[in-house]
């Protein structure tokens, strides 16, 4: 297939582009590099079948040639990014999603939207299944991301119902692995960076809040399964193994051999207390479930961060970093 990937230089996007090429597909990577990194796709530039087109998908753009599938990943996805770029986050969830849907419609291509577990907000139901409508603050500080993704889902379903576009939606839970930015505000990247530098690990709240962490290779397998299917979704993609933030801190210090202590800070507004996916639909509809245990995935991620030691030291940290997402 020839696949257009928006946000293709980002954390998830770069891994997806590489796996598409590995299996023999060709890729058009669209990115404005606002949160993606050119370094993530540098090794792909000279690969046959890969084309990187710098562009903003919220504006007019053109893709020449055939298109068999479109994967819309473009969006700031970490608290540090979407708090720093609130209007851009809303724009890529609305105008950007529609532009990608129009591309898919014009080429009769499969369209896959990368949505998020944030559509469930601070959930009142646990674990979260796809038929749960969520508990979201529509005007809170996280709403620029939560509501952008909820709107993108509604828009995708409207194009499916009214215009016959072959759309599919996946809701991605916390994912980690190589290519994460050291200062992106996510809990795993923050903990690993801090542990490698011998700094205190920043825990927001008392650390008993939970997340379910999925290694990036597993997540990409789920994206490919959705891309290759005709299922509309939505499907939760995530690891149903639930861990507290304090448990994660202990794992990271153990793997890195760090003597870092834990420093507690106030829990940000609307930060979810519990987060765990019910992946029954993904198991049954896509034949997908995660394989990589958390300890193994963390070891791989720590090794990558250690190999990127200069970036860990030099990359500037945003002034406003929110929450243990």
pLDDT tens string 80-129: 899 899 999 999 999 999 999 999 999 999 999 999 999 999 999 999 99
Place of tokens 């700031």: 76
| CATH number assigned to the domain covering 177-212+241-275+292-314 | 3.90.25.10
Phi first, then psi, for residue 80 (nearest 5°) are -60, -40
Q: Is 82 a catalytic residue?
A: no
- Within 10 angstroms of residue 11's Cβ, the number of other Cβ atoms is 26
For the whole model, what pTM was predicted? Answer: 0.93
Q: Where in the chain do CATH 3.40.50.720 domains reside?
A: 2-175+214-237
Average pLDDT over residues 190-208: 95
Round the average pLDDT of the chain to a whole number and report it: 93
CA nearest to 275, candidates 325, 219, 210: 210
Inter-residue contact 93 to 101 (CB < 8 Å): no
Q: Where in the chain do CATH 3.90.25.10 domains reside?
A: 177-212+241-275+292-314
Rounded Cα distance, 278 and 285, in Å? 13
| Banded pLDDT at 315 (limits 50, 70, 90) | low
Inter-residue contact 212 to 173 (CB < 8 Å): yes
Q: What is the DSSP string of 267-324?
A: PPTT--S---B--HHHHHHH-----S-HHHHHHHHHHHHHHTHHHHHHSPPPS-----
Inter-residue contact 216 to 280 (CB < 8 Å): no
pLDDT, residue 309, reads 65
Evaluated on CA atoms 162, 163, 168, 173, the torsion sign reads: negative
Q: Select which of 120, 145, 159, 176 is catalytic.
A: 145
Inter-residue contact 197 to 317 (CB < 8 Å): no
* Between residues 35 and 193, the one the model is more confident about: 193
Average pLDDT over residues 64-81: 94
| CATH number assigned to the domain covering 2-175+214-237 | 3.40.50.720
- Within 10 angstroms of residue 62's Cβ, the number of other Cβ atoms is 7
Rounded Cα distance, 105 and 260, in Å? 52
């Amino acid at each position: 297939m020839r696949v257009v990937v928006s946000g293709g230089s980002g954390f998830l996007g770069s891994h997806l582009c590489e796996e598409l090429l590995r299996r023999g597909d060709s890729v058009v990577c669209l990115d404005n590099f606002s949160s993606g990194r050119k370094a993530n796709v540098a090794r792909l530039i000279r690969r046959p079948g890969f084309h990187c087109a710098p562009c903003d998908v919220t504006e007019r753009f053109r893709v020449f040639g055939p298109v068999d599938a479109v994967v819309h990943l473009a969006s700031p996805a970490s608290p540090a990014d979407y708090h720093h770029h609130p209007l851009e986050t809303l724009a890529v969830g609305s105008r950007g999603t529609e532009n990608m849907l129009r591309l898919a419609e014009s080429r009769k291509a499969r369209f896959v939207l990368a949505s998020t577990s944030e559509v469930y907000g601070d959930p009142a139901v646990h674990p979260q299944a796809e038929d749960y409508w969520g508990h979201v603050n529509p005007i809170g500080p996280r709403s620029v991301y939560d509501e952008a993704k909820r709107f993108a889902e509604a828009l995708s379903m409207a194009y499916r119902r009214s215009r016959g576009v072959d759309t599919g939606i996946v809701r991605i839970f916390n994912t980690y692995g190589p290519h994460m930015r050291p200062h992106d505000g996510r809990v795993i990247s923050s903990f690993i960076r801090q542990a490698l530098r011998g700094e205190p690990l920043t825990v927001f709240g008392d650390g008993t809040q939970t997340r379910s962490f999925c290694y990036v290779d597993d997540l990409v397998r789920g994206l490919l399964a959705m891309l290759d299917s005709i299922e509309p979704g939505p499907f939760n993609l995530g690891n149903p193994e639930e861990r507290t933030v304090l448990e994660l801190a202990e794992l990271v210090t153990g793997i890195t051999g760090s003597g870092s202590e834990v420093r507690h800070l106030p829990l940000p507004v609307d930060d979810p207390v519990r987060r765990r996916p019910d992946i029954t639909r993904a198991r049954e509809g896509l034949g997908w479930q995660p394989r990589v245990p958390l300890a193994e995935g963390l070891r791989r991620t720590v090794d990558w961060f250690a190999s990127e030691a200069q970036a860990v030291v030099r990359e500037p940290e945003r002034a406003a970093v929110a929450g243990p997402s």
